[in-house]
Amino acid sequence: MPEPGSKSYDKHRARRRKDLEKSGTADAQEANEQAKRDIERDPEWRPGGPRTERGRGPKGERPGNE
C-alpha cells in the first residue's frame, strides 16, 4: 500500500489531477485538492499508520497506557 509522499502515491495523484484538469471540472489548485481528497477516500491508498511499536511513539505516551 503506497504511503503519502511515496513515488507511486505522487504519480497516482498527478494522473488523477491531470484527468480532472483535462475534463474541465477544476482549475489547477482545485484539481490538486480534489485528487488528494479522492485518494484519501480510497481504502487502497489510505495510509496504514505506524508499522512497529516504536513508530507509535514513546511508551508512556501511547494510547491505552494510562
- Residue-range domain boundaries for the chain: 1-43
Q: Using CA atoms, how far apart are residues 2 and 54, in angstroms rounded to an integer?
A: 20
Report the first-to-last Cα separation within the chain, whole angstroms.
Answer: 32
User: Is residue 28 within 8 Å of residue 21, measured between CB atoms?
Assistant: yes
Contacting residues for 40 by C-beta, under 8 A, at least 6 apart: 46
Residue 66 above 60 pLDDT?
A: no
- Within 8 A by CB and 6+ apart from 62, the residues are 56
Question: What pLDDT was estimated at residue 15?
Answer: 92
How far apart are alpha carbons 46 and 12 in whole angstroms? 13
The reported pLDDT for the residue numbered 58 is: 80
Residues 12-54 have pLDDT tens digits of 889 989 998 888 877 888 888 888 888 888 877 776 666 677 7
